Copies of this chain bind each other. A is one copy, B any other.
Amino acid sequence: MQTSPAITTKCVDCAIRHRAVCSRCGGDELARLEEIKYYRRYNSGETITIAGETMDFVGSIISGVATLTQTMEDGRTQMVGLLLPSDFVGRPGRSSAVYDVVAVSDVVMCCFRRIPFENLLGATPAVAGRLLEMTLDELDSAREWMLVLGRKTAREKIASLLVIIARRAGSPCTESSPGNIWFNLPLTRDAMSDYLGLTLETVSRQMSALRRDGVIRLEGNRHVVIPDMRRLMEEAGDDADGGLPG
């Protein structure tokens, strides 16, 4: 981890300005956040927090991807959160981390020392309210994921993960047919298996099966193209509409 005095972006110009914990702040409140914020960079693979250790800061992911995982004594691990830009890391009111947080790509974070941030929470309803809203959203995601873990087949699990990533990180294809969506998978097969409660072999097999069946196209191991979002959502067992236009 490196503190980087080099980065001095103003909050107003920040890429996550409209989605992060600061999104409801007006000029005054933003100024107060600007005073106590600082940036940190992590290289891919670097640990951000370790379960059980002191955590004296909280913050937002500005760019990159990190994972939140829980590990049992015998080594079994379960990912319990996937942190993308604008997501919040850390828990106000608690001094030690409960989960391992690891950067799975190069990550830049906007950090606040925990105690000053907690004080600011009490004084700034715009921040407290937005944090409540984000936490409620996280809770909904966690509950949706409980359905995936508890009741879906391996194939449905893979499809569900691809839907979630496509929703948050996918881009419409520019050249090919306009309905297409693509993204670069931010996770290794092993990380995917940790997310889905599967083994990496099963992940690999089901990725191959979805490719064989034309549900996805793989260009290299990480580049995923989704020719028909609706089809993928059916494979995920989410027949509810509301996906990206396809």
Chain A residues in the interface with B (C-beta under 8 A): 68, 70, 72-74, 76-78, 80-81, 91, 93, 98-99, 121-122, 125, 128-129, 131-133, 135-136, 138-140, 142-147, 149-152, 196-197, 237, 239
Contacts and interface: CB of A to CB of B under 8 A. Distances in A.
A210 to B, nearest CB: 19
Q: Which of A73, A93, A139 has the largest number of chain B CB atoms within 10 A?
A: A139
A121 to B, nearest CB: 8
Contact of A151 (B131, B140, B197, B239): B197
B140 A98 contact: yes
**A contact patch SS:** helix
A201 B139 CA distance: 30
A239 B144 CA distance: 28
B140 A138 contact: no
A87 to B, nearest CB: 13
Contact of A147 (B78, B122, B125): B78
Given A78-B147, A125-B128, A139-B139, 4 more contacts: A73-B239, A80-B143, A121-B129, A151-B197
A129 B70 CA distance: 27
Contact of A132 (B135, B140, B237): B135
B125 A122 contact: yes
Contacts of A147: 70, 72, 78, 80
Nearest to A81: B143
A152 B77 CA distance: 10
